[in-house]
Chains A and B, each alone.
Chain A
Amino acid sequence: KAGVTQTPRYLIKTRGQQVTLSCSPISGHRSVSWYQQTPGQGLQFLFEYFSETQRNKGNFPGRFSGRQFSNSRSEMNVSTLELGDSALYLCASSLGGSNYNEQFFGPGTRLTVL
């Protein structure tokens, strides 16, 4: 069974631009969570999508948004990029549902904002 895939793996943008990151979960997984990891910081939770609906949201500004498609693939969008948005963005998929299920992580997208 293929793991979680994320595209692109690396991205360089300039301030003010916008970016879209993609995450394909493990087949059969319906939940996708997104995290931001900056140097020296732990993972910061962005949001979680389950069955095309945002189920949970972290404390990030509205410039960070996401969506999930009917095939459970998810995209994350960051508008009006700032230097501080440079980070590793990780997505994790899980079965979802009403109980907690183990999360499986993708390799991440490393975003650099210049």
Chain B
Amino acid sequence: NAGVTQTPKFQVLKTGQSMTLQCAQDMNHNSMYWYRQDPGMGLRLIYYSASEGTTDKGEVPNGYNVSRLNKREFSLRLESAAPSQTSVYFCASSEQHLFYNEQFFGPGTRLTVL
């Protein structure tokens, strides 16, 4: 099992460009999450999908969109990238969207917006 995989690992964008971050899990989990990690701020939830067919906003959703493509895949799209979106992005999954369920994290995507 690969667990949670993310592509790409690194990306540099110019302001205004768009891109999609891909995430896939092979653990048959129902719930998936996108976080961003910034120095001194821990992890902040951008969007999540409690189950296939549903998505909801997290703490910092502005400037992002998500798609739960199927049970395995959850993508994050930046329509018009801004320097404030320079960050490390983590995808995670859990069996159910319940606060006591362990979340499993991917290796992250390091995004720089110039």
Partners in one complex: no
